[in-house]
Chain A
Amino acid sequence: MPLAAVMLLPLVWMLVTSVETLAESRHFPPTIVPSGIHWENYPNALDSAPFGRFFANSLVVTLASVAGNLVFCSLAGYAFARLRFFGRDVIFIVLLATLMVPFQVTMIPTFLIVQHLGLVNSLGALIAPNLVTPFGIFLLRQFFRTLPVDLEEAARIDGCSRLGVLFRVVLPLSMPALATLGIVTFLWTWNDFLWPLIAISSTDQSTVQLGLASFQGAHQTRWTLLMAGNVVALAPMLLVFVFAQRWFVQSIAATGVKG
């Protein structure tokens, strides 16, 4: 019980502060039970930063990254699992080796490349580098290899194309792996901060995390407003997480990735 209290205290205290008056928050000892529920902090927070825009941007970037990973990692993962083609093993090892280099090591040249492509300060800068990941390819390849090959061969003999086999036979059998990749990509992209911080400079291209950080910068110690904004920014992800906890937990356990 003390454990649950310690884990939940930060979030509960955020909620409590978000409905206090500014005077109540600037009081010591802290006001544990506010005088009333001051909802006005929420409209005030929504008025002082374009949260709707931030959500729309994050949603576009996240959905594009999830879709890109599902399609491109499936294609590549299937080729690495089932097709024999020139250079396959070398390419696979090179792709896997990039997993060993932390993003922080390569982020400066990645920024320069994005700059050359004219993508700086656009959502494209956030989407393009995240459309496919070696991790996702590896995950799906491992899963595809556990499927019985007979079904695919039968479909081929029936005249199905390789793409048809992948989309009509293999992927329908791979829903658990695809769900895992989708959930992990979703969590990771939605909560990513360092790359958007570098690649985006204007408010109207900001993601939720970026917008939240500059919101804090603009309202330093107006804690009631900051906590209300924080609740707004966190609520969708936390609600999805709590309701779909089982899937999130299984995906994290299966892959060992946190955003």
Chain B
Amino acid sequence: MTRRLLGSEHAAGWLFVLPAVVLIGVFGIIPIGWALLLSFQHNDLLTAPTWVGAANYRELVHDPVFRDSIRRTIIYTLLFVPLSVGGALGVALFLYRPIRLSRFYRTAVFVPVATSTVATGIIFNWLLDPTYGIANFLLGKVGLGPYGFFQDPDQALYAIVAMTVWGWLGFDVIIYLAALQGIPQDLLEAAELDNAGRWGTFRHVILPLLSPATLFLIVWSTINALQVFDEIYVTTRGGPLHATTVLVYYLYNQAFELFHAGYAAAVAEVLFAITLVFSIAQLWIGNRRVHYTS
């Protein structure tokens, strides 16, 4: 009896997970191993691949566009992460207090979250148009510009940062607001009784209690920043003069425009390594500084 029951539980368990295991196996697990194999091949996505050993990686080391794409990806990440996470913290602290029109403000901040990256790119192409765009008009009012934005190699990457911070801010604010709602009111009242002051309360009560959310947002934003692609494809296509060719753009360009799939797979492995190193380092440093409440 026990054996039969156990047996049926094994069978039921396997039947339940079977669709997931097959689908994730085919589209999730096999590609991981295959991606590594590909990086040692010459592959044009059509004809039979050939083995080239470590040639792709050797070529990468001497490829100036690749090296610059890593540099640009890291510059982008180092700007995007603090601006979006730090900005969101400020916005969340402002929206957290009951203020007039707070529902309207929240909607204004959240709406870009539902705006697709493609639509965002097209809108910013227009806002940042050097000749007719409203950005140059408004900045001109305060005595700045005019700027070339996406069309100026020295500004394009920063324009991408501004656009993507706009698109992502609301997401970070949502996470921060949820974390702020979790702060027990009596802790804030205790701080007030101790005359901690607004800065003291923020520095010694709120900030430590938000630290798990901050760590999550830093890790998650970094992963996403290292993978930025859509907004660049829609606006600058990696230009002008490669000024916005980040890692994933280069990967896409090599694999699906130039059909150097093996070479692109080597780029992908480097992306994977960089992502892992960043995530592990952040979690390692972060976990020693994060304050978890039980």
Contacts and interface: CB of A to CB of B under 8 A. Distances in A.
A226 interface: yes
Contact of B127 (A10, A101, A190, A234): A10
Contacts of A258: 113, 168, 171, 224
A233 interface: yes
A104 B127 contact: no
Contacts of A230: 119, 122-123
B272 interface: yes
A137 to B, nearest CB: 6
A79 B119 contact: no
Interface in B64-95: 91, 94
Given A17-B126, A79-B17, A105 B272 contact: yes
Given A72-B23, A258-B171, A245 B35 contact: no
Nearest to A6: B166
Interface stretch (B148-156, B183-191, B198-206, B229-237): B229-237
A27 B132 contact: yes
A8 B116 contact: no
Interface string A70-97: 0011011011100111101001001100
Interface stretch (A39-47, A147-155, A172-180, A193-201): A193-201
A242 interface: yes
A213 B116 CA distance: 11
Interface string A91-122: 10011001011101111111111010000000
Contact-residue bracket for chain A: 35 or more
Interface in A1-36: 3-4, 6-11, 13-14, 17, 25-30
Contacts of B290: none
List 5 A-B pairs, minimum CB-CB distance, nearest first: A85-B13, A109-B34, A79-B16, A106-B31, A241-B114
26 contacts: A4-B104, A7-B170, A8-B108, A10-B166, A11-B112, A11-B115, A11-B123, A28-B131, A30-B132, A30-B137, A72-B23, A75-B16, A78-B16, A80-B17, A98-B28, A98-B29, A134-B28, A193-B230, A213-B233, A221-B129, A238-B114, A241-B111, A253-B174, A253-B177, A256-B175, A258-B224
Given A83-B12, A131-B23, 8 more contacts: A85-B10, A109-B30, A128-B27, A212-B122, A213-B118, A221-B129, A238-B115, A258-B171
Interface of A: 3-4, 6-11, 13-14, 17, 25-30, 72-73, 75-76, 78-80, 83-86, 88, 91, 94-95, 98, 100-102, 104-113, 115, 128-129, 131-134, 137, 162, 187, 190-191, 193-194, 197-198, 208-209, 212-213, 216, 221, 223, 226-227, 230, 233-234, 237-238, 240-242, 245, 248-249, 252-253, 256, 258-259
